[in-house]
């Protein structure tokens, strides 16, 4: 039944696949090239086991924590993702769902809704930027987010513009004009519930990115903004320090996979890092984020907050990341599948699934709080970790087996 409760993120994914046109679904699901990293992000969690207790278990469990100065009710945040064409309410619905469940949302600068609307829907909005355009343009976007009420800044650098997908990239038009709609019609017509949602909203997906323009100016197209990003030189650590100086609140660097980069992030003055490989959409063959997490926590976990992004599908995955020392996790695809399946209620459903799974795992492990988790709660196979960029060690030297 459309909009009905679902019991797992896997079911949310199945419903999203049935709801969305194939091109929209594949834009969410697909990783780059062969999909090695995309697959490893998810499957690596299955290599980790638990060491549960069976008596004297805590009657109550505390899942709350703080991230980037924000008190949240569970250690799960919404990762910044563009939700082009998924649902008419887009990031506003996701923001409301996160607020309803007491957590924060990361808002992408490539989002379909303006930061002003999203921050009004959730006061715990963290604005994300790519290094696209000049310093002046980047600073203008950041200051706009600050004025709108964003309480933290996320800078994403893990992107190498690797476009090829072995199974073919989805066909997405630059704008939905008459010609494009006629071309996309066969895929949309076989998804009548998706089409009906947009018809009720009174418009089709705009495929624009309003947070990439100055207030009052027309929003550029997704591909127009993407082109600007591609043509911008990669930032230096000095560029990052410059932006940090212009943002006086919590500041996260997203995309860290190496110990040496994590240490440079500390030197640059960031307050949090996200261990992330862009959901398998960056350089294929990069290890799963959960494999890289322990070495990064060991190196810098006492100097800044470390979050994990990538492959989270159930509450037990969250607990495994926290046992390795992550402060919290971020979810992207899981939230988008919930949004596609049932709008705002679907995102709430996903967060509830994760909350229940975290609580159940804490109970089984005999802990009254997520702060009590440690590697001792896990069964970790030999060679599981990937200590990328660790001083004095060859990259992958512990990756045999």
Q: How far apart are CA 388 and CA 296, in angstroms?
A: 9
> Do residues 227 and 61 make contact, with C-beta atoms less than 8 angstroms apart?
no
Q: From the candidates 87, 246, 278, 367, which is the catalytic residue?
A: 278
Phi, psi of 155 (to 5 degrees): -110, 120
Phi, psi of 236 (to 5 degrees): -100, 170
**DSSP codes of every residue in 127-192:** EEEE--S-HHHHHHHHHHHHHHT--EEEEE--------BTT------SS--HHHHHHHHHHHHT-H
Q: How far apart are CA 108 and CA 188, in angstroms?
A: 26
CA-closest candidate to residue 148, choices 214, 201, 96: 214
DSSP 98: H
Residue 278 annotated as catalytic: yes
Burial of residue 154, with CB atoms counted within 10 A of its CB: 0-12 exposed, 13-18 middle, 19 or more buried: buried
Structure tokens at 184: 């996309």
Structure tokens at 353: 């699934």
CA-closest candidate to residue 237, choices 266, 216, 198: 266
Q: Which residues of 92-110 are buried (b: 16+ CB within 10 A; e: fewer)?
A: bbbbbbbbebbbbbbbbbb
> Do residues 136 and 144 make contact, with C-beta atoms less than 8 angstroms apart?
no
DSSP 33: B
Using CA atoms, how far residue 320 sits from 31, 62, 245, 298, 311, in Å, is: 23, 16, 34, 16, 12
Alpha helices in 30-134 (DSSP H): 36-43, 90-100, 115-121
Q: Which residues are catalytic?
A: 278
């Amino acid at each position: 039944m459309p909009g009905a409760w679902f019991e797992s993120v896997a079911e949310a994914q199945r419903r999203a696949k049935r709801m969305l046109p194939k091109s929209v679904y594949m834009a969410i699901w697909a990783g780059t090239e062969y999909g090695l990293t995309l697959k490893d992000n998810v499957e690596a969690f299955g290599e980790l086991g638990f060491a549960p207790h069976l008596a004297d278990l805590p009657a109550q469990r505390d899942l709350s924590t703080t991230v980037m100065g924000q008190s949240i009710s569970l250690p799960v945040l919404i990762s910044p993702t563009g939700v082009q064409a998924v649902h008419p309410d887009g990031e506003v619905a996701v923001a409301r769902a996160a607020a309803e469940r007491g957590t924060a949302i990361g808002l992408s600068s490539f989002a379909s809704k303006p930061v002003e609307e999203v921050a009004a829907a959730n006061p715990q909005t963290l604005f994300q930027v790519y290094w696209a355009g000049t310093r002046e343009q980047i600073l203008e976007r950041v200051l706009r987010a600050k004025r709108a009420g964003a309480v933290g800044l996320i800078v994403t650098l893990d992107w190498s513009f690797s476009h090829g997908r072995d199974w073919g990239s989805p066909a997405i038009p630059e704008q939905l004009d008459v010609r494009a709609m006629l071309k996309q019609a066969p895929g949309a017509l076989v998804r009548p519930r998706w089409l009906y949602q947009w018809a009720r909203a009174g418009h089709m997906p705009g495929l624009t990115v309003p947070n990439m323009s100055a207030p009052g100016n027309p929003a550029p197209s997704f591909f127009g903004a993407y082109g600007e990003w591609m043509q911008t030189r990669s930032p230096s650590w000095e560029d990052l320090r410059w932006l940090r100086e212009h943002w006086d609140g919590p500041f996260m660097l997203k995309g860290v996979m190496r110990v040496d980069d994590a240490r440079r992030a500390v030197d640059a003055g960031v307050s949090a890092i996200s261990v992330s490989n862009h959901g398998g959409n960056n350089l294929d063959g990069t290890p799963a984020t959960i494999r890289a997490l322990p070495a990064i926590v060991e190196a810098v976990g006492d100097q800044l907050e470390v979050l994990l992004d990538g492959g989270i599908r159930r509450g037990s995955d969250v607990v495994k990341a926290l046992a390795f020392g992550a402060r919290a996790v971020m979810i992207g695809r899981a939230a988008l599948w919930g949004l596609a399946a049932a709008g705002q209620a679907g995102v709430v459903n996903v967060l509830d699934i994760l909350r229940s799974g975290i609580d159940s795992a804490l109970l089984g492990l005999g802990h009254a709080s997520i702060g009590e988790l440690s590697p001792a709660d896990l069964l970790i196979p030999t060679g599981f970790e990937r200590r990328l960029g660790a001083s004095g060690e060859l990259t992958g030297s512990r990756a045999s087996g």
